[in-house]
Amino acid sequence: MNAQVLQAVWAVVLLTGTGTVLGLVVGIVVKLFGAEIDPRIEEIEGLLPGANCGGCGFAGCVAFAEALAHGKAEPTACPSNSAAAVERICALLGVAAGTRNPKVAVVLCGGDNAKARQAALYNGVVDCKDAMLVAGGAKGCRFGCLGLGTCARACPFAAIEITAAGIARVHREFCTGCGKCVAACPRNLIRLVPADAPVHVLCSSPEKGAAKRGVCEVACIGCRKCVKASGEDHITMNGFLAVVNYDNPPTAEVAAVCPTGCLVATTPPAETETADPAREMVHA
Ligand code: SF4
Ligand code: SF4
């Protein structure tokens, strides 16, 4: 064996030996001083949706699982989780499940391209925030939905469709109430409301009735007919805009008195639709 081969063999032996010793030392240090990982964290994480939507108030599902294991969060705080999974988490933690008041998002605008006037042609980036930078957007109503799908792209559950008529619509059966779309909409048009709310005023413009009628045929014109029919406990006026009291909503029948059709009763989810988180709902 010549000197060079001998040197190489020694180098391999030395490196292997050093690596083994260091590995042993690290292992002993971790065993003696390392933090114990709560095995429930992984189990809880497996019971969470894994969408990392942040609706629970934590950075993601892992952070929420850790907070649950340390008693720093309520199992019901995840708006996206199923009742069965919440029950299993409660059983794992040995706590009682709190009350859940499921919420869903609703886009408070009904003025699609067939019913609301466009003031200009926008040919820029397909994004509502970008469109807002160009003279506030192309829509005649400066409070109306721009229909460019910023909310739909923000939704981790593909629950928002931009319809062929150019308006955002939430599919309640897929919406978990995580609120991502609420934060994404530059027009502040999306609100989280109780999932069983029977009616909504699909208008967000506070302008006077005549001004709104000039740009949209389904605007709230502030006629107060719904307030008279339901009582002020159920619907109140905010200037020229009727606002549903979601803590004490009117019955769905009140929608019939609205002369413009901006007060709409909640429609049941389409029977043909199935939950497929991979589907693409943006048609813009
Ligand atoms: S529609 Fe909004 S609230 Fe509902 S799941 Fe999508 S982002 Fe969340
Ligand atoms: S509701 Fe959606 S599509 Fe409409 S303006 Fe807001 S982000 Fe854009």
Could you tell which of 80, 157, 172, 279 is best to mutate to test the pocket of ligand 1, judged by most ligand atoms within 8 Å of the CB? 157
Distance between CA atoms of 163 and 169, rounded to whole angstroms?
7
Q: What separation in Å is there between the alpha carbon of 176 and the centre of ligand 1?
A: 6
pLDDT of the chain along its 284 residues, tens only? 566 777 777 777 766 767 676 666 666 655 666 667 888 999 999 999 998 888 888 999 999 999 999 999 989 889 888 888 999 999 999 988 777 889 999 999 999 999 999 999 999 999 999 999 998 889 999 999 999 999 999 999 999 999 999 999 999 999 999 999 999 999 999 999 999 999 999 999 999 999 999 999 999 999 999 999 999 999 999 999 999 999 999 999 999 999 999 999 997 665 444 444 444 455 43
Give the span between the Cα atoms of 155 and 177, in whole angstroms: 10
Q: Is 145 in the pocket of ligand 2 (CB under 6 A)?
A: yes
| Span from the CA of 180 to the centroid of ligand 1 (angstroms) | 6
Q: Residues lining ligand 1, CB < 6 A?
A: 105, 154-155, 157, 159-160, 170, 175-181
Q: What distance in angstroms lies between residue 181's CA and the mean position of ligand 1's atoms?
A: 5
Cα 194 to averaged position of ligand 2 atoms, centre (Å)? 20
pLDDT at 96: 87
Same fold: 39-93 with 101-195+267-284: no
What pLDDT does residue 83 have?
86
The verdict on pTM exceeding 0.85 is: no
Boundaries of every domain in the chain: 39-93, 101-195+267-284, 198-265
Residue-wise DSSP of 132-200: HHTTT-SBSSTTS---S-HHHHH-TT--EEE-TTS-EEE-TTT-----HHHHH-TT--EEEEETT--EE
Ligand 2 pocket mutation pick from 169, 170, 190, 200 by most atoms within 8 angstroms of CB: 190
The CATH fold assigned to 101-195+267-284 is Alpha-Beta Plaits (3.30.70)
Q: Looking at residue 158, what is its pLDDT?
A: 96
Residues 6+ apart with CB under 8 A from 41: 62, 65, 66, 69
Ligand 2 centroid to Cα of residue 133, in Å, is 14
Give the CATH superfamily of 39-93: Electron transport complex subunit B, putative Fe-S cluster (1.10.15.40)
* Ligand 2 centroid from CA 107, angstroms: 8
Task: For the chain, count helices (H), then strands (E).
Answer: 9, 8
The pLDDT of residue 212 is 96
- 84 near 76, Cβ under 8 Å? no
Per CATH, domain 198-265 is 3.30.70: yes
How many CB atoms are closer than 10 A to CB 82?
12
Query: Measured in angstroms, how far is the CA atom of residue 13 from the centroid of ligand 2?
Result: 65
Closest C-alpha among 145, 180, 138 to residue 159: 180
Beta bridge partners of 199: 265
244 touches ligand 2 (CB under 6 Å): no
pLDDT at 236: 96
Look at residue 142 in the predicted model and tell me its pLDDT.
95
Nearest CA, atom 5, ligand 1: 175
What integer pLDDT is reported at residue 246 of this predicted model? 97
> Of ligand 1's atoms, which has the minimum distance to the CA of residue 174?
5
